[in-house]
Structure 1
Amino acid sequence: MSIRAVTRLFKHGTHILRNLCRRDLHEINIADKINVVPKVPAASQQNTSQLHNRVIPRNFVFRNVGLQIGLQARKILIDNVLNRVTNSLAGELRKKAARRILYGDSAPFFALVGVSLASGTGIITKEEELEGVCWEIREAISKMKWNYNDVNIEEVHSEENPITLKDLSFGQPIAKGSNAVVYAAKLKEKNIEEKCLGESGEPKTVEIKLEKDETKFPFALKMMFNYDIQSSSMAILKAMYRETVPARMYYSQGEDWELDLANRKRHLPPHPNIVAIFSVFTDLIPELESGRTLYPDALPARIHADGFGRNMSLFLLMKRYDSTLEKYLNNREVSTRTSILLLSQLLEGVAHLTSHKIAHRDLKSDNLLLDCTEDDAPILVISDFGCCLADKSNGLFLSYNSSEIDKGGNAALMAPEIYTQRPGTFSVLNYAKSDLWSAGTIAYEIFGMFNPFYGGKGQAKLKNSTYNDEDLSDLPETVPVIVRVLIRNILSRNPNKRLDPEIAANVVQLFLWAPSSWLREARKLPSSAEILQWLLSLTTKVLCEGRVIPNFADPQNLEGVSRGRRTYPEYLLISSFLCRASISNIRLALSWIQSNVYENDY
């Protein structure tokens, strides 16, 4: 390093230290100030909002590097624009504006950015302006309120009035697995709720009769089996916190252990292709009339003498779905377009997980649920997060220094880089593209074939530990060539050859909605302005046509309603794409299509 470089580094370093030590400053999130910066993830926004209310201590240097970079960016703007003015009056105005900017007043900052854009001085490039419009598109779509078959549980209950079993009526059991059972459920009316209370006002442990009319139950209540965990909320939530990762409402008493758990685990924001869990709570295991038949071993001794279960467990109140993907595919002929819509939704869900540094680790067709209100365009959601990796300290990379560390769920659909990894001092499990690989295996089922890693009639079972890319069987000719090439890419044994989950999701979205001329061989890539024009067109359609979707819970409301050319699930799928759209990533997907699709011999 030259003497000149060292001198500059020392000069600027002392300048930063002097500014930090001079006064207390509040953290300023520049991303919230300028619309050309991509949207900050929801988790980061929550952390930032908490920091706004906390004063940063003096001389606390290294924690505030990001803060100083933002302040320096503002200072550069002042130097390049305000300092061009030389007369005394303007100089005084310049000094006042500089003070206001550096102390957090955004008004002059926005004004200077506007002047820069209008005059073309080059502070913000044309490409950044277009990405800024993309940011506005993401903001507008993310704020849309969809009117569908969901129930807004927050309107009925809150943290001060949490849901417990006394608030629910039960329907018939929907599904039962090795770790949980799921019942149809609904909220009780107030007068019914009062009859369920004892003389002391506490809920009684009584046998609950199951109502037969299934149309009245919009919820599903998942009751986890508890064999080993002591009957306390603290122990249960600590042991089963993975199940609560996608929950929209978590009832906290504000105790230290709960705050520690919330700070340690990652939260997954709501998404159309992630299961809608409205509430999570712990309660006593109820005595249901089918319990002794379905899951006798999981019952506590107070209900069933031969049971091995504990008295309390975890309950998850979620939206009730119509079917699993496995049952849906086995019970009907699925059109190619419906299959593509299902694949696109699965990739959108995986992209959402990966963007929040969460790995599901147990993707399979019976963990994918469908809302079949519109039978030819069902809504697909990823469910069952009991095996997920959602720890803030790990992200998508998990140190694997012992064979006792859990790799995840279904071994047959485990990505090869995870399955074949061996424990060691420096060994790491990289889950960045593992869920994407699992989704690629499920794509075979979606398009009417046997999963190659399960095997089937007359088809040898591939092993994720030994297969080669050439061993993968061809998908049907009815599957578009772009989709076939994409699935082969997703199932590449080498994770470095696979697309990123977001780019993979973009490829299918572009196939569904983009102008066909963009996808042709040897076609020049569209300009950024053309991509933005297309995004604005999609946004207009979603904002104007998607809003009029009626409540499907009442079929009479469907008569005479025009929804444009698309079904509701299609508008929802487009909105998922627009909520994360950026020109650069769309160009990457288009470039991959033109570089990889037409060189294959299909």
Structure 2
Amino acid sequence: MSVRAIGTHLFKYGRTFVRHICKRDIQTTADKINAAQQLPPKPHGVSISKGFGLRTVGVQIGLQARKLLINNVLNRVTNSLASDLRKRAARRILYGDSGPFFALVGVSLASGTGILTREDELEGVCWEIREAISKIKWHYHDIDIDETRFENSPITLNDLSLGKPIAKGANAVVYAAKIKNQDGLPRTQPDKNAERSVSETIVKTEDSDDIEKFPLALKMMFNYDIQSSAMAILNAMYRETVPAREYYSNVRISDWEIDLSKRNRHLPPHPNVVAMFSVFTDYVPELQDCRGLYPAALPQRIHPDGDGRNMSLFLLMKRYDTTLADFLTSHPPSARVSLLLFAQLLEAVAHLTAHGIAHRDLKTDNILIDTAEPEAPILVLADFGCCLADKANGLRLPYTSHEVDKGGNVALMAPEIACPRPGAFCVLDYGKSDLWAAAAITYEVFSGRNPFCVGTLRSVDYEEEQLPEMGAEVPYVLRRLVGNLLQRKPSKRLNPEVAANVCQLILWAPSTWLKPETRKPPSSAEILQWLLSLTTKILCEGRMTNKAGSESIQLDSDRAQLQSDVRKAGRRTYPEYLLISCFLARATISNVKAAISWIQTVNADIDD
């Protein structure tokens, strides 16, 4: 008899012999794992397979382990219980039952020694931090607008009172605005099934020079070629509506709007993205200075020489004080204010990238500033008319011909977008293109001169060695960060979230973490402790500043006094708390560690 045959017989009859000696009955319930609930009694007349009991026990153990996990009682599971479960499972495996494999999964979950590690538990606490911060309703828009008034009927031009024009570009004009009937009088409910005629568009205008009476801004897009149909207008200008909170039109196209939302991405609200309250289509009205500012965009019913259509798209948003370009000219920022602006810009880019959207037209004219607190201005991204927000392609756009729209602002177009030639397999990757443009804008923020706009550098052929040095007042780590984000190859640039974390660490992290002589990085527990301390400051101290920012504009003096009291108490300003909350709302230990590791690598280069 061969050795193989002998081995086969020994295995076959040896297992039978062991079973006979031990006299084990796998079906007995006395030997079931006591960590799970008892199985229900066997129904009369129903036959159950031999392995059913243990398989069910395994599944129940998995469910029980998940319940323990959800209730945060992993630390209550003793090692003795886990050891007993393993021994019982090993005995059952010896007798040929596969059910304990499911049990071992449950044991691993319950004991915390297998699937869940210490790092996973700490990341779980970070998840709790993100949830807590996301529930805070910040009044960073400083606008008392009753959005419930427009739940049953869409907002139209008849609901607005407009002031003087505050901005005008090649594609749109912006008017100061406010909502009429703020005294609580009921609105007239229009017939949703009826189309309004051109003559029904009545817009109340005021000649008041007090811009503070108009907390909103109404942006009217110029429409030269699109037919006067809400469906056609929204389809052609959908990019402008990406950050909008509500989509409204004056015709019944709800099914089409749902289809549009499925094809295109929507950007959730963010403190560093323009606050766009509503979007709607309506007939172009005759507004103040319209014939002098934009005669060609007017329809012929208003101006005989106009080339515009009767209907267009209207965007209702918060009115901001100025653009970043004007702010840098009129209020040259200090080094700290520049760092705050750069951190907010990176937070906005990280928010867009996380939701699969690329702005593609970043420049100082498309960045707005709220100067309610000049020592800590709030920065927001606006003008999404060139953005990429397509669910089908994401941030990778096929570039098959020159007719494909690359976006606006060629001067600040990243090398990976400006250089490729169209082809059958060419793809434009916008994953880090906004990050490159943000780094180029940083030169304007810190020194007032962008080498790609007023200098000799071009994104298509520059070399990293040609980048000008930033001033000595800019921290060394920050200078290296800008240099990293301006690398020609996107693979060499940091992730947008990690880049934003570097700025946040420079602003708020313990100084010992950032010193060049610090070689040992902080542990995960130390990072979590720091995140928890920031969360406590937001949840406790931030309430007073949040209240100060939410008062109505009639109480400016009281609000200013409250903000002054906050600063005297050693607390941070309202925009600073807002910036910290943006960081905590997306914080993970792994990304914070990546930022700290990059900073320490940069510091190590100083010694070398």
Shorter-chain TM-score: what band? 0.7 to 0.9
The structure 1 residue matched to 2:511, chosen from 508, 511, 516, is 516
- Cα gap change, 1:83 to 1:157, in 2 (>3 Å): farther
Instruction: Name which of structure 1's ranges 355-364 and 557-566 shifts more when overlaid on structure 2.
Output: 557-566
Deviates more, 1:231-240 or 1:211-220: 211-220
Contact 1:363 1:435 in 2 (8 A): yes
What's the CA shift string for 1:270-323, capped at 9, x where partnerless?
Answer: 000000000000000010121000000000000000000000000000001001
For residues 149-548 of structure 1, the aligned pairs below 5 Å read 149-151=141-143, 153=145, 155-189=147-181, 204-205=200-201, 208-212=204-208, 213-251=210-248, 253=252, 255-455=254-454, 460-521=455-516, 522-548=518-544
**Which amino acid in 2 is paired with 1:217?**
F
CA distance in 2, matches of 1:544, 1:101: 45
CA gap 1:96/1:582 in 2 versus in 1, 3 angstroms: farther
The structure number with the bigger radius of gyration is 2
Please give the secondary structure, in 2, of the residue aligned with 1:250. coil
* DSSP 3-state at the match of 1:178: coil
Match of 1:599 in 2: 605
Distance 1:158 1:524 in 2: 56
Paired position in structure 2 for 1:118: 76
- 8 Å Cα contact 2:158-2:203 kept in structure 1: no
CA distance in 2, matches of 1:112, 1:143: 23
Shift of 1:148: 4.0
Q: CA deviation at 1:117?
A: 3.9
Point out where structure 2 has 5 or more consecutive residues left out of the alignment: 1-28, 42-51, 78-110
1:116-155: CA deviations, max 9, x gaps?
4433442421111100000000000010012344336453
1:234-260 alpha-carbon deviations (Å, 9 max, x no partner) = 000000000000001123756332221
Quote the sequence identity (%). 58
Tell me, yes or no, if the aligned pair for 1:282 and 1:314 is still in contact at 8 Å: yes
1:549-588: CA deviation from partner (whole Å, max 9, x where unpaired): 2136332222245334200000000000000000000000
Aligned partner of 1:146: which letter? W
Q: Is the 8 A contact 2:284 2:311 kept in 1?
A: yes
User: Distance in 2 between the 1:321 and 1:89 partners?
Assistant: 60
Structure 2 residue identity aligned to 1:571: Y
Q: Is the 8 A contact 1:273 1:348 kept in 2?
A: yes
Q: TM-score, normalised by structure 1?
A: 0.80
2:85 corresponds in structure 1 to: none
- Paired residue for 1:65? none
How far is 1:434 from its partner? 0.2
Please, which of 130, 141, 146 is the counterpart of residue 138 of structure 1? 130
**CA distance in structure 2 between the aligned counterparts of 1:88 and 1:323, rounded to whole angstroms:** 64
Output the CA distance in 1 between the equivalents of 2:55 and 2:278: 48
Structure 2 residue 548 is the aligned partner of structure 1 residue 555 = no
Counterpart amino acid of residue 392 in structure 1: K
Deviations 1:489-543 (A, max 9, x none): 0111111111011110000000000001111224201000000000000000011
1: CA distance, partners of 2:215 / 2:535: 31
Residue 596 (structure 2) aligned to one of 590, 593, 596: 590
Amino acid at match of 1:118: R
Paired with 1:83 and 1:143, the residues of 2 have a C-alpha distance of 49
SS at match of 2:217: strand
Q: Deviations over 1:182-215 (max 9, x none)?
A: 0000000178998999xx9977345743331322
Whether the aligned pair in 1 keeps the contact of 2:36 and 2:57 (CA below 8 Å) is: no
Q: Distance in 2 between matches of 1:324 and 1:448?
A: 17
Query: Which deviates the most, 86-95 or 368-377?
Result: 86-95
Gap regions ≥5 residues in structure 1: 1-81
Q: 2:577 aligns with which of 571, 578, 588?
A: 571
SS at match of 1:401: coil
- What aligned pairs does 1:95-114 form with structure 2 within 5 A after superposition? 109-111=66-68, 114=72
SS of 2:76 mapped into structure 1: helix
| TM-score, length basis structure 2 | 0.79
> Counterpart of 1:555 in structure 2: which amino acid?
D
Q: Is the 8 A contact 1:542 1:575 kept in 2?
A: yes
Cα distance in structure 1, aligned partners of 2:599 and 2:340:
19
Partner SS for 1:287: coil
**Partner AA of 1:570 in structure 2:** E
CA, structure 1 residues 600+404, in 2 after alignment: closer, same or farther (shift >3 Å)? Answer: farther
